[in-house]
Chains A and B, each alone.
Chain A
Amino acid sequence: MDELSVLVIDDEVDFVDTMLKRLRRKGVYCDGAYTGVGAMSKMKDRDYDVVLLDMRLADEDGNEVLRELKDISPETRFMILSGYASASAARTGIGNGAHDYLIKPLDFETLYEKITRA
């Protein structure tokens, strides 16, 4: 896989937009979604290598979204980035098939490193 493709899902528009700009600058193909529904349609259009997912979305619970996206594309690496710094939430996330559970705020460099390594 020559080009890394990433889907960023978060209801914080500012976060998603900036994230996309920075990832693209790094030469990563990326899309953004602000809702679970949006993420679903994006996911159906393309096989992403990595999905960066918030645990709390405006319309849906992150875990729900995670399970559904995982059904659509089992090969994709899912990374949760959340403000919920709870061990049980992390366990649930990992249990639902997430590759990693990261806690906000996280600086871009670390995040980028994690994404590329995933």
Chain B
Amino acid sequence: MEDERKTDRSIAGFFNSGLFYTGRRRKRTRRFICYPYLKRMIAKVADKKDSQMKMYTATIEKEALEPRSRSAYYTRQKLLFIIVMVLVSVVPLIGISFFSFQYYRNSSIEKTSSELASLADSRKEIIELFLADQNNYLGDMLNLYPPEYLSDQANLERLFNATNRSGVITDLGVIDQTGAHRAYVGPYRQQLSDKNYAEVDWFSGVMQNGNYTSDIFSGFRGVPHFVVAVANPEKTLILRATVNSDMFNSLLARAEVGPGGDAYILNKKGEAQTPIRLDYLETPFGLEGVSRGTSVYRTDDFIYTATGMNNGAWVLVLKEDINNSLSEFYSARNKAVALIVLAIALITTVATVITSSIMNRIRTADRLRTELTNRMRRVEKMALVGRLAAGVSHEINNPLQIIEGQAGWMDELLSDEKKGSVLNLDEYKQSIAKIRTHVNRAKLITHSLLGFSHAGEMVIAKTDINQMFAETVSFLESEAGRNSITIVREFQADMPEIMTDSSQLQQVLLNLVNNAIDAIGRDGRITVSTAVEGGKVVIAVSDTGPGFSDDIRQRLFDPFFTTKNGKGTGLGLSISFNIIQRLGGDIKADNNEQGGSVFQVFLPVTSGSSSTKTKE
């Protein structure tokens, strides 16, 4: 226990002292001889230095060693990007569209309203002109002809026929101040000739004002009509004309409001004075307030104009269907909406494509970065392990030298002793010989451990890969044979000679083949191959063992990671990794499709040219 602690401290002290050395390569054969011993020795060191190693491995983040499932993260990121991109472009598009639609709709309604108002004005003028015409006609007759002349039936008929060729007036009556008919021309002679008008609205109106235009009424004839009446200045005689309703109505029909619209005249009581084309709807405004000017009223569906006329007795109403007037706007809007939908679809597609491509790049970059980080960690770990190995073996070499010296000294002195004078002389000699044997053994181990850790020590030379590999395999052939494992060589002929450190490379291949033997255990096949692929030399060792899980694969090259249950040191692959890195190559581990594992070493054809300068 005490000893162990001392060793711990000395190693820790050494480790912290900063005295890290580079190893020196020993003769190849020695290393091979010592290999099994070395493994055992490091295993022991590793066991004893458990606490040290724990301290060391604790610095490696666990996530870095585990495969991270980031695909959900990328999917979420991608969706987020797409949504943001689409929103950023679509929301303003929809907003602009909405507001411009509103604007154009309102301005379209404004335009329709003002058009309707000017139409109403012009209609009113025409109608008032028409009514004034009738008044003037009657007034002219009263002025031109004396009352007696007009009261004569024959004269009136002649006048009527001469002046009313257009048929604007249906009938013409001459009435005296008592309200009795003096003469009548027209189709209702039978019904009207004996009637007295003294009690009728229009009669009192004309007697009061001198002229009068009536609302529509049925009167004595029983047919709806309206009359224009004018009295002579003395108010002794009245000329009354019935206006041809069809002709009057046609004045409004020619107002040419669109489909769904209407033009009609109401009196102050809201009674229609002209036919209403469509279903009569209550006017949305009070008729009392309508002045001579034109006012515009708007409901959800219709625009109304109301124009006072006939001295405020009538209201000319023009009505326009808003939706109808907006039909052009709506068809334009539908086209615009279709375009917007198309644009949104395009934006979404483009956003998806761009985002996918960006995310793929990010994913690739992330993966490369993670790989690089893992590699850097591994390289760092390797450097540390290399220093530790070098430190341990250096420190052990000094006491070994002393032990060797002391044993040798004792041996020398013992040879002076006479046989018999020293009891157990042979036993001493044997014991000393054993000490020296084991010192020698320890020496081989420490020297080989140094061999593992030459950081930056390279001896680059032209190397025949096939020959070197064949030689390496031959070292392990007998061990493989003992375990009924056959080694199949599949070397590509005429491999190019490459510049590399053949001794270090051989160490790596030795590790790989040795691992393959350990992985198979008994009965199996190891295939070793060489090839040139894409400007690189590929050296592969493939076995029929159990292969490894993804979890193990992540940690294969970690120092002190072993699957050999205490029989391995966990250093072989990490040192191999280190060596191949420094040779400017790469090492990869995979499972075979047929089962078992395959390790591939990739080396540039001109290997190590840049690494030779690397020195500690």
Residues in A lying within 8 Å of B, measured CB to CB? 12, 14-15, 18-19, 21-22, 25, 81, 83-90, 103-109
Instruction: Give CA–CA (A15, B403) in the complex, Å.
Output: 9
Tell whether A15 pairs with B402 under 8 Å between CB atoms, given A85-B450, A88-B457: yes
A86 partner, pick from B22, B401, B403, B440, beta carbons under 8 A:
B22
Supply 27 A–B pairs (Cβ within 8 Å), ascending by A.
A12-B398, A12-B402, A14-B402, A15-B405, A21-B409, A22-B405, A22-B409, A22-B412, A25-B412, A83-B393, A84-B394, A85-B24, A85-B393, A85-B447, A86-B21, A86-B454, A86-B457, A87-B22, A88-B457, A88-B615, A89-B22, A90-B24, A103-B447, A104-B398, A105-B400, A106-B404, A108-B409
Q: Could you say which residues of chain B place their CB within 8 Å of the CB of A81?
A: 401
Whether A104 and B401, one on each chain, are in contact in the complex, defined by CB atoms closer than 8 angstroms, is yes
CB <8 Å contact, A83 and B401: yes
Interface centre among B22, B402, B615 (most CB of A within 10 A): B402
Nearest CB on B from A106, distance (A): 7
| Distance of B451 from chain A, by nearest CB (Å) | 8
Cβ-based interface call for B471 (8 A): no
A-side contacts of B24, CB under 8 Å: 84-87, 89-90, 103
Contacts of B456 in A (CB 8 A): 88
Complex alpha-carbon distance, A19 and B394, angstroms: 20
Which B residues are in CB contact (< 8 Å) with A109? 408
Give the contacts of B152-185 with A (CB-CB under 8 A). Answer: none
Distance in angstroms from B559 CB to nearest chain A CB is: 20
- In the complex the two chains form, is B402's CB within 8 Å of A88's CB? no
Known: A85-B393, A105-B443, A107-B440. 13 other contacts (CB 8 A): A14-B406, A19-B405, A25-B412, A81-B401, A83-B393, A83-B394, A84-B24, A86-B24, A86-B450, A87-B454, A89-B21, A90-B24, A105-B403
The interface residues of chain B lying within 8 Å CB-to-CB of A88 are 22, 456-457, 615-616
Question: How far apart are the CA atoms of A26 and B390 in the complex, in Å?
Answer: 35
- Nearest A residue to B451 via CB reads A85
Q: Tell me if B21 and A108 are in contact (CB < 8 A).
A: no
Residues 446-492 of B contacting A (Cβ, < 8 Å): 446-447, 450, 454, 456-457
Whether B78 is near chain A, meaning CB under 8 Å from some CB there, is: no
Chain A facing B: main interface SS: helix
Over the window 386-414 of chain B, the binary record of Cβ atoms lying under 8 Å from chain A Cβ atoms (1 yes, 0 no) is 00001001110110111111101100100
Asked if B525 is at the interface (CB within 8 A of a chain A CB), the reply is no
A-B contact count (CB 8 A): 88
Of residues 349 through 395 on chain B, the ones whose CB sits less than 8 Å from some CB of chain A are 390, 393-395
Q: How far is the CB of A109 from chain B (nearest CB, A)?
A: 8
Q: Are B405 and A14 in contact (CB under 8 A)?
A: yes
Find chain B residues with CB under 8 A from A108 CB: 404-405, 408-409, 412
- B9 in contact (CB, < 8 A): no
In the complex, the answer to whether A107 meets B615 with C-beta atoms within 8 Å is: no
- Across the interface, do A107 and B436 meet the contact criterion of CB distance under 8 Å? yes
| Closest-CB distance, B433 to chain A (whole angstroms) | 12
Q: Considering the chains assembled together, what is the distance between the CA atoms of A90 and B23 in angstroms? A: 10
Given contacts A12-B398, A85-B393, A88-B615, contact A107 B457 (CB under 8 A): no
Q: Write the chain A residue with the least CB distance to B396.
A: A83
- CB contacts (< 8 Å) of A21 on chain B: these are 409
**Interface bits B211-227 vs A (CB < 8 Å: 1, else 0):** 00000000000000000
What are the residues of chain B within 8 A of A85 when measuring CB–CB? 23-24, 26, 393-394, 397, 446-447, 450
B439 at the interface (CB under 8 A from A): yes
- A22, A83, A89, A103: the one contacting B408 at CB < 8 Å is A22
Q: Which of A84, A89, A105 has the most CB of B within 10 A?
A: A105
Contact B450 A107 (CB under 8 A): no
Q: Report how far A108 CA is from B413 CA in the complex, Å.
A: 13
B31 within 8 A of A: no
Please measure, in the bound complex, the distance between the C-alpha atom of A64 and the C-alpha atom of B480, giving whole angstroms: 50
Note all chain A residues with C-beta closer than 8 A to B408: 22, 107-109
Complex CA gap A12/B394 in Å reads: 14
Please measure, in the bound complex, the distance between the C-alpha atom of A118 and the C-alpha atom of B439, giving whole angstroms.
26
**CA separation between A83 and B390, bound complex, in Å?**
10
- Residue of B whose beta carbon sits closest to that of A26: B412
Nearest CB in chain B: distance from A96 CB, A: 17
- In the complex, the chain A residue whose C-beta lies closest to that of B406 is A18
Q: How far is the CB of B390 from chain A (nearest CB, A)?
A: 8
A residues in contact with B402, CB < 8 Å: 12, 14-15, 18
- Nearest residue (CB) in B for A101 is B24
Contacts of A22 in B (CB 8 A): 405, 408-409, 412
B1-42 CB mask vs A (1 if < 8 Å, else 0) is: 000000000000000000001111110000000000000000
Q: How far is the CA of A107 from the CA of B21 in the complex (A)?
A: 23
Chain B residues with Cβ under 8 A from A106's Cβ? 401, 404
Cβ-defined contact, A107 with B404, below 8 A: yes
The answer on a CB contact under 8 Å between B25 and A87 is: yes
A105 to B395, CA, bound (A): 11
Q: State how many angstroms separate the Cβ of B7 from the closest Cβ of chain A.
A: 16
CB-CB under 8 A for A104 and B21, given A14-B402, A19-B405, A22-B412: no
Q: A25 to B410, alpha carbons, bound, how many Å?
A: 13
Least Cβ distance of B155 to chain A in Å?
Answer: 150
Chain B residues near A84 (CB-CB < 8 A): 21, 24, 394
Minimum CB–CB distance for A24 against chain B, Å: 11
Please name all residues of chain A whose beta carbon is closer than 8 Å to the beta carbon of B616 when the two chains form the complex: 88
* Nearest CB in chain A: distance from B522 CB, A: 37
Quote the shortest CB–CB distance from B603 to chain A (angstroms).
22
A16 to chain B, nearest CB (A): 9
Assembled-state Cα–Cα distance A25/B436 (Å): 20
CB of A9 to closest CB in B, whole Å = 14
| Cβ-closest 5 pairs across A and B | A83-B397, A105-B401, A105-B400, A104-B401, A85-B24
Q: B416 — nearest CB in chain A belongs to which residue?
A: A25
B100 to chain A, nearest CB (A): 80
Q: What residues of B have a CB within 8 angstroms of the CB of A15 in the complex?
A: 398, 401-402, 405
B21 engages A105 (CB within 8 Å)? no
- Cβ contacts under 8 Å, B400 to chain A: 104-105
Residue of B nearest to A19 (CB): B405
Give CA–CA (A106, B440) in the complex, Å: 9
* Smallest beta-carbon distance B575→chain A, Å: 16
- Shortest distance in angstroms between A86's beta carbon and chain B's nearest beta carbon? 4
CA distance A90 to B22 in the complex (A): 11
A15 to chain B, nearest CB (A): 5
CB A14 to nearest CB in B, in angstroms, measures 5
Q: Which of B585-616 contact A (CB under 8 A)?
A: 615-616
